[in-house]
Chain A
Amino acid sequence: GNSVTQMEGPVTLSEEAFLTINCTYTATGYPSLFWYVQYPGEGLQLLLKATKADDKGSNKGFEATYRKETTSFHLEKGSVQVSDSAVYFCALSDIQGAQKLVFGQGTRLTINP
């Protein structure tokens, strides 16, 4: 079945460092890909998405490119801030037109000042 694999955390960086969180997927067909972020005590918020190969999703300085050839959707940010500390989830849509997402295990990110 479909699955998502994320780099294991936790990840700890200093403020203004470059961030990469790796995400690869296994899927039949051509799923849409998402990054969600979860701040402490809150639900998930959609960070960015890409719906087809070579699409780049971007939001709040974060970017991810849908790479069909490597089945990857790595999250990057050029200069992280303390406020970016959260858990990040990579996900894919399981069935086109439905709302069933398959999530990776999540990567906890801590940014130190």
Chain B
Amino acid sequence: KAGVTQTPRYLIKTRGQQVTLSCSPISGHRSVSWYQQTPGQGLQFLFEYFSETQRNKGNFPGRFSGRQFSNSRSEMNVSTLELGDSALYLCASSFGRDNSPLHFGNGTRLTVT
């Protein structure tokens, strides 16, 4: 069974640009969550989508947005990139029920210069 797939693995962007990250969940999983990992702030929750609807949201500015498609694949977009957005972005999928374990992808490393 294929795991969570995130593309691309690495990205280099310039301040002010925008970027789109993609996540393909495990087959049958309807929930996709996004996390930002940085050395300073650690792992922080961005948002969760379930059946194409945002079900939960973390404390990030509106520049961070996401969506989920009918096949449960999800994209995350960051507009007007800032240097502080440099991070490893992790996607996780699950069945979305109570205490369903999260299965994480290997992440997309974004570097903003």
Q: A43-B107, A44-B90, A95-B56 are in contact. Are A100 and B45 (CB under 8 A)?
A: yes
Please determine whether A46 and B48 come into contact, CB atoms closer than 8 angstroms.
no
Query: How would you classify the secondary structure of chain A's contact residues: helix, strand, loop or mixed?
Result: loop
Please determine whether A98 and B55 come into contact, CB atoms closer than 8 angstroms.
yes
Kindly report which residue of chain A lies nearest to residue B105, judged by CB atoms: A43
Report how far A44 CA is from B104 CA in the complex, Å. 6
Q: A49-B101, A93-B99 are in contact. Are A99 and B56 (CB under 8 A)?
A: yes
Q: A41-B106, A43-B104, A99-B48 are in contact. Are A105 and B42 (CB under 8 A)?
A: yes
A-side interface residues toward B, CB under 8 Å? Answer: 32, 34, 36, 41-46, 49, 51, 89, 91, 93-106
Q: Would you give 30 A-B contacts (Cβ < 8 Å), ordered by A?
A: A41-B106, A43-B4, A43-B90, A43-B92, A43-B106, A43-B107, A44-B90, A44-B104, A45-B104, A46-B103, A49-B99, A49-B101, A89-B43, A91-B43, A95-B56, A96-B98, A98-B56, A99-B31, A99-B48, A99-B55, A99-B94, A99-B100, A100-B33, A100-B58, A101-B35, A101-B43, A101-B102, A103-B43, A105-B42, A106-B43
Report how far A44 CA is from B105 CA in the complex, Å. 7
- B42 contact from A32, A43, A98, A106, Cβ within 8 A: A106
- Which residues does chain A contribute within 8 Å of B97, judged by CB atoms? 97
- Which residues does chain B contribute within 8 Å of A96, judged by CB atoms? 98
Report how far A98 CA is from B50 CA in the complex, Å. 10
Report the contact-size class of chain B (Cβ under 8 Å from the partner).
20 to 34
Please determine whether A97 and B45 come into contact, CB atoms closer than 8 angstroms.
no
Within 8 A of A (CB), among B50-73: 50, 55-56, 58
Beyond the given pairs A46-B101, A103-B44, A105-B42, 6 more chain A to chain B contacts, judged by CB atoms under 8 angstroms and listed by A's residue number, are A43-B92, A46-B102, A95-B56, A96-B98, A98-B56, A99-B55
Kindly report which residue of chain B lies nearest to residue A46, judged by CB atoms: B101
Report how far A103 CA is from B92 CA in the complex, Å. 14
Minimum C-beta distance from B97 to chain A (A)? 7
Kindly report which residue of chain A lies nearest to residue B42, judged by CB atoms: A105
- Which residues does chain B contribute within 8 Å of A89, judged by CB atoms? 43
